[in-house]
Amino acid sequence: MGLKVYIDGTLYEKDQAKVSVFDHGLLYGDGVFEGIRAYAGRIFQLDAHMERLFNSAKAIALKIPFSQQELKQAIRNTLDTNGLKDAYIRVVVTRGVGTLGLDPNKCSGSSVIIITDTITLYPDELYEKGLEIVTVATMRNHPAALSPRIKSLNYLNNILAKIEAINAGCLEALMLNVDGLVAECTGDNIFIVRNGALLTPPETAGILKGITRDVVMDIARKEGIEVREENLTKSDLFTADECFLTGTAAEVIPVVKIDQRQIGPGTPGPITQRLRGLFKELTEKEE
Ligand code: PMP
């Protein structure tokens, strides 16, 4: 039996899981989504993901036809039906089937899709050796135009940046905001370590408020590490002692080179490794 995909209350075989070509999620990127992990059958940070999904939907005036509790149950059921313990869960809410015009009021009602699968974002060896990233010319969306806080189905800004990174031989791109300050990567938030303190751009830099970012800041504070959300420039990164990225799929991954410049000694730093270890421990015990 193959993988089953949830669409609006029904579980379909993977190759039968389809949406209409008139869905505004497809026609206009009109919708929101979440990427969630399950570790050993426990869904990590599910409440935080529900909170962000419902807020993303609210920000684009999209009604999710479930309570958070009901959606959580549907996610749990889909995961269990597929017999998955370690999984990547993609929850998508689209505006639903409409006409060829933009008007969301002409859509029949939002559609909820839950896909459960496995994921490997970066090869294992990069967690040991560290990742190389590159600053790209594509600027992060201006928050006043389309807030990066909204995890919408329109990821073109990130995809354009990703294309530049791949063309430069890197797996991830560093995106700056219109002020030239560090924002985030295409699918990950960024941190540096300077003089023993952990620094990361604030929400006002125009970032997605990552759930892994929040968890890592929490872990660090509990460890007595000073954590500051402050604007960073490229030169702050070049002169950092350590650098790493966080994300649901990536978890905590060290960065050792940015724009072909070595960060610190060019190997994953001690604080990065400590936080990575503590994050792993948390995924092994917490929901
Ligand atoms: N920034 C962007 C643009 C993202 O898409 C993501 C999620 N992949 C992140 C940051 C990291 O957020 P989270 O830790 O919640 O996965």
Q: What is the DSSP string of 210-252?
A: -HHHHHHHHHHHHTT--EEE----HHHHHT-SEEEEEETTTEE
Which residues face 10 on adjacent strands? 7
pLDDT of residue 274: 98
pLDDT by 10s per residue, the chain, length 287 = 689 999 999 999 999 999 999 999 999 999 999 999 999 999 999 999 999 999 999 999 999 999 999 999 999 999 999 999 999 999 999 999 999 999 999 999 999 999 999 888 899 999 999 999 999 999 999 999 999 999 999 999 999 999 999 999 999 999 999 999 999 999 999 999 999 999 999 999 999 999 999 999 999 999 999 999 999 999 999 999 999 999 999 999 999 999 999 999 999 999 999 999 999 999 998 77
At 66, list the tokens.
């479930």
What burial class does residue 253 get, using C-beta atoms within 10 Å of its C-beta: 0-12 exposed, 13-18 middle, 19+ buried? Answer: buried
Question: Is any atom of ligand 1 closer than 6 Å to the C-beta of 247?
Answer: yes
What burial class does residue 66 get, using C-beta atoms within 10 Å of its C-beta: 0-12 exposed, 13-18 middle, 19+ buried? Answer: middle
Relative to the CA of 189, which ligand 1 atom is closest? 10
How far is the centre of ligand 1, averaged over its atoms, from the C-alpha of 191 (Å)? 13
Q: Taking every pair of C-alpha atoms in the chain, what is the biggest distance, in angstroms?
A: 57
Range of the domain at 62: 4-117
Q: DSSP label at 23? A: B
How far is the centre of ligand 1, averaged over its atoms, from the C-alpha of 250 (Å)? 9
Domain identity same for 97 and 136: no
Q: What are the residues whose beta carbons fall under 8 Å from the beta carbon of 244, sequence distance 6 or more?
A: 190, 191, 252, 253, 254, 255, 268, 269, 272, 275, 276
Q: Got the DSSP string for 142-193?
A: PTTTS-TTS-BS--HHHHHHHHHHHHTT-SEEEEE-TTS-EEEESS-EEEEE
Tell which of 71, 94, 117 closes a domain: 117
Domain identity same for 17 and 74: yes
pLDDT of residue 287: 73
Domain identity same for 128 and 52: no
Domain identity same for 66 and 179: no
Domain identity same for 168 and 129: yes
Q: Which of 36, 191, 215, 248 to mutate to test the pocket of ligand 1 (most atoms within 8 A of CB)?
A: 248
Question: Is any atom of ligand 1 closer than 6 Å to the C-beta of 210?
Answer: yes
Domain identity same for 158 and 104: no
How far is the centre of ligand 1, averaged over its atoms, from the C-alpha of 165 (Å)? 17
Domain identity same for 12 and 71: yes
How far is the centre of ligand 1, averaged over its atoms, from the C-alpha of 248 (Å)? 7
pLDDT of residue 149: 97
Q: What is the CATH number of the domain that holds 98?
A: 3.30.470.10
Relative to the CA of 184, which ligand 1 atom is closest? 1
Per the confidence metrics, is the pTM higher than 0.95? yes
Domain identity same for 94 and 203: no
How far is the centre of ligand 1, averaged over its atoms, from the C-alpha of 258 (Å)? 19
Amino acid at 203: E
Count of the separate structural domains present in the chain: 2
- The answer to whether the CB of 133 falls within 8 A of the CB of 174 is yes
d(CA 250, CA 259): 20
Of the CA atoms within 13 Å of residue 98, those in its CB half-sphere come to 23
How far is the centre of ligand 1, averaged over its atoms, from the C-alpha of 211 (Å)? 7
pLDDT of residue 255: 98
Look at ligand 1, atom 2, and give the residue with the nearest C-alpha. 187
Q: Which of 4, 18, 85, 151 is an active site residue?
A: 151
Q: What is the CATH number of the domain that holds 204?
A: 3.20.10.10
Relative to the CA of 52, which ligand 1 atom is closest? 15
Provide the 3-class DSSP secondary structure of residue 47. helix
State yes or no: is 151 an active-site residue: yes
d(CA 207, CA 152): 13
pLDDT of residue 119: 82
Look at ligand 1, atom 4, and give the residue with the nearest C-alpha. 187
Question: Is any atom of ligand 1 closer than 6 Å to the C-beta of 135?
Answer: no
Tell which of 117, 144, 175 closes a domain: 117
Q: Which of 90, 136, 188 to mutate to test the pocket of ligand 1 (most atoms within 8 A of CB)?
A: 188
